């Protein structure tokens, strides 16, 4: 009995209703698909076309397929003819292995549980190596780098971006090529991937000698970011919210008056009357083109916030509803978020929606000279996150819901490219596999102004880079709860500002308190405006510190630009774990509170209240120069770093970027 056959460059297994296929895909990679009682769909929800020629061997009960330095060995077990797949590198080291059938336990590594309508609840189970360390998977709000032992939801929420790719310390990368809502459990005994509703199994695995090689292979099959626009290298000013045209122009002129370089000024949400109008409210912005032109004269880009919600009272709601351009609810009313009214989401997965919305954006923003957009609410933020109750044009949210933020970014990327814009960047609150291709700059959501949240962002940014999203940032100072009159908050803000200097994009934002209510001429209570959030708003001493770091950011432009070029060409993260550059140093795999900004700068944020110093680990294999005083240390040791309020510990690898010495 032959269980295996070769179809073109793929190895195929068939038994008892299951068809499984392994395809050489990308550099040192294999794509694995399995369908049950149906036809296999080889289309790609995230992967780019990257089929390769591999080598295949077969006999009746065993087959292998090799692509570069990865080999899959497929063994038909005698009990029940269950198939077990094991993956090896070119040295013969075991990387990952499906569970066995367990003999009389009759387990299956690929479990398809039928659901009404023809879909399945899918569980894929692998044997776990307890010594393995796992990194990536996107952005989860936890102060943890090694994800071994973690249970993660495969779904998006405000401040959570689920990107199901990880890098293993064992020397492989793994992509769960499935957009369904689900879970992953990185247990000590098994690793379990669960899709709550799907048609088939689909994943991609690659082998690599080091994390950089794995990351570049992953970028080769999912794409890289465009080149960062020049204004992305400087400082961005934002707050919740500049509520009228006069405020925006005043802030821009004040930065110019003080001689503080500013690249982007952000006009936040509810500059419109109703969600879904997608245009300026003339009561507060009587001549937005004049505003944009004034900022351009000062060398400042205007960014505007965009929400995908459509209020029932919006001028576009009825037309979009009639044309089927909105997300549908399976049960009850189509009210998917309650915020200043009853809102339903535009369906970004629908090409007709993307075309319709871009036409509105072009008319009401782009034609005014606005080229940069802030794509908020990108998960989207369903009230209650009842994923099973909603349906996109692309399919049920339970089955394909995680693609929404990527298609949202795609709307603006393709619209801007259609107008001839080359370097596209959109600030967005969520991402999925491939979002980087559409110029997605992810920020970490509506986090709190607390030190524990600050520490979580360091982990989040590093995981996002490993998950293939090199453009990432935070609200400097946090979003919720920052009291501008509280000395403790001012200290936190300075420490966060120093961290933000060494992030892919440096942007201050927040809903500072106390806020001021806004009531329009019709007597309607609008979204409030927060307390002042400009760098001169926190006292002269703090202004001087923040001005110093803005100028350091500008002095680093050539270096930062080189990092963006590397991200564009190879998919390299801008924020890097220490092990990314120093995989041979075992200590580096356990560091979660310091990182590398590109290959040359080791950054050690001060992220505990009132701390004026900290321990810093310097990786073995390089010398490290203190950017403050020029002192040189050999790697492979812990040191004590002094950090008064105006200083963040920064160390230069082998003396590189020595222009920073004495500046920090």
> Which candidate in 98, 268, 277, 379 is catalytic?
379
> Which candidate in 216, 301, 376, 585 is catalytic?
376
Catalytic, 446? Answer: yes
Q: Which of 105, 103, 122 is nearest to 113 (CA)?
A: 122
CB 47 within 8 A of CB 221: yes
Q: Tell me how many degrees the CA angle 62-65-66 measures, rounded to the nearest 5.
A: 140
CB 310 within 8 A of CB 410: no
Q: At what angle do helices 245-257 and 288-297 cross, to 10 degrees?
A: 10
CB 533 within 8 A of CB 512: yes
* 538 vs 534: CA distance, rounded Å: 8
> Which candidate in 446, 527, 581, 626 is catalytic?
446
CB 12 within 8 A of CB 5: yes
* 156 vs 407: CA distance, rounded Å: 14
Catalytic, 376? Answer: yes
DSSP per position, 330-395: SSS-S--EESSSEEEEB-TTSHHHHHHHHHHHHHHTGGGT--EEEE-S-S---TT--GGGEEETTE
CA distances from 508 to 449, 485, 497, 534, 598 (A): 12, 17, 8, 8, 22
Residues 319/382/443/566 CA torsion (nearest 10 deg): -70
* 29 vs 24: CA distance, rounded Å: 6
CB 581 within 8 A of CB 613: no
CB 236 within 8 A of CB 508: yes
Q: Which alpha helices (H) appear in 5-64, and where do they start and end?
A: none
> Which two structure tokens, joined as six digits, stand for 44?
């790609």
Q: How buried is 627 (Cβ within 10 angstroms: 0-12 exposed, 13-18 middle, 19+ buried)?
A: buried
Count helices and strands in the chain by DSSP H and E runs: 12, 44
DSSP per position, 315-348: TTHHHHHHTT-B-EESSS-S--EESSSEEEEB-T
User: Sign of the CA dihedral 513, 514, 520, 523?
Assistant: positive
Residues 583/589/595/600 CA torsion (nearest 10 deg): -20
Q: Which of 624, 650, 425 is nearest to 553 (CA)?
A: 650
Catalytic, 640? Answer: no
Buried b (16+ CB within 10 A) or exposed e, 455-488: bbbbbbbbbbbbbbbbbbbbbbbbbbbbebeeee
Q: Which residues are catalytic?
A: 376, 379, 446
């Amino acid at each position: 009995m032959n269980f295996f056959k070769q179809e073109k460059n793929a190895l195929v297994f068939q038994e008892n209703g299951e068809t499984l296929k392994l395809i050489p895909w990308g550099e040192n990679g294999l794509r694995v698909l399995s369908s049950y009682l149906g036809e296999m769909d080889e289309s790609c929800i995230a992967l780019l076309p990257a089929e390769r020629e591999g080598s295949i061997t077969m006999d009746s009960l065993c087959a292998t397929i090799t692509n570069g330095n990865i080999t899959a060995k497929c063994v038909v077990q005698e009990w029940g003819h269950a198939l077990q797949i094991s993956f090896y590198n070119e040295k013969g080291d075991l990387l990952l292995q499906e569970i066995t059938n367990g003999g009389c336990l009759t387990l299956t590594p690929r479990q398809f549980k039928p659901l009404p309508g023809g879909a399945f609840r899918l569980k894929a189970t692998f044997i776990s190596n307890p010594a393995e360390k796992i990194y990536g998977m996107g952005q989860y709000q936890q102060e943890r780098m090694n994800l071994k032992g973690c249970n993660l939801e495969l779904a998006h929420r405000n401040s959570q971006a689920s990107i199901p790719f990880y890098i293993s310390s064992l020397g492989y990368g793994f992509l769960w090529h499935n957009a369904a809502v689900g879970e992953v459990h990185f247990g000590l005994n098994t690793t379990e991937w669960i899709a709550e509703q799907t048609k088939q199994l689909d994943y991609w695995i690659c082998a690599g000698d080091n994390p950089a090689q794995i990351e570049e292979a992953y970028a080769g099959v999912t794409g890289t970011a465009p080149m960062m626009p020049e204004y992305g290298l400087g400082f961005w000013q934002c707050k919740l919210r500049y509520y009228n045209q006069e405020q925006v122009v005043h802030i821009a002129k004040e930065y110019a008056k003080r001689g503080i370089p500013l690249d982007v000024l952000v006009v936040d949400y509810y500059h419109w009357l109703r969600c879904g109008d997608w245009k300026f409210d003339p009561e507060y912005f009587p001549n937005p083109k004049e505003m944009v032109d004034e900022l351009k004269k000062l060398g400042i880009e205007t960014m505007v916030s965009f929400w995908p919600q459509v209020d029932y009272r919006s001028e576009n709601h009825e037309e979009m509803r009639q044309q089927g351009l909105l997300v549908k609810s399976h049960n009850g009313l189509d009210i998917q978020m309650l915020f200043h009214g009853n809102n339903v989401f535009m369906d970004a997965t629908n090409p007709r929606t993307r075309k319709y919305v871009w036409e509105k954006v072009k008319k009401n923003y782009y034609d005014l000279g606005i080229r940069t957009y802030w794509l908020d609410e990108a998960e989207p933020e369903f009230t209650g996150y009842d994923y099973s109750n909603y349906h996109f044009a692309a399919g049920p949210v339970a089955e394909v819901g995680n693609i929404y933020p990527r298609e949202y970014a795609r709307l603006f990327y393709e619209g801007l490219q259609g107008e001839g814009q080359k370097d596209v960047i959109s600030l967005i609150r969520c991402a999925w596999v491939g979002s980087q291709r559409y110029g997605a700059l992810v920020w970490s959501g509506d986090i709190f102004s607390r030190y524990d949240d600050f520490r979580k962002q360091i982990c989040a940014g590093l995981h996002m880079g490993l998950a293939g999203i090199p453009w990432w940032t935070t609200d400097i100072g946090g979003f919720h709860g920052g009291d501008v009159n509280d000395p403790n908050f001012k200290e936190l803000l300075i420490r966060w500002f120093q961290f933000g200097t060494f992030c892919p994009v440096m942007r201050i934002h927040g809903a500072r308190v106390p806020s001021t209510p806004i009531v329009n001429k019709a007597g309607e209570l609008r979204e409030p405006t927060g307390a002042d959030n400009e760098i001169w708003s926190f006292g002269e001493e703090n202004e001087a510190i923040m001005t110093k770091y803005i100028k350091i950011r500008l002095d680093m432009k050539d270096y930062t630009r080189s990092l963006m070029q590397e991200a564009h060409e190879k998919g390299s993260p801008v924020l890097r774990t220490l092990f990314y550059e120093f995989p041979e140093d075992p200590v580096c795999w356990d560091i979660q509170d310091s990182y590398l900004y590109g290959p040359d700068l080791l950054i050690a944020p001060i992220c505990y209240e009132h701390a004026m110093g900290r321990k810093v680990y310097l990786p073995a294999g390089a010398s490290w120069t203190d950017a403050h005083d020029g002192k040189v240390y050999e790697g492979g040791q812990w040191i004590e770093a002094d950090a008064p309020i105006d200083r963040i510990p920064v160390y230069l690898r082998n003396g590189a970027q020595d222009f920073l010495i004495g500046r920090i």
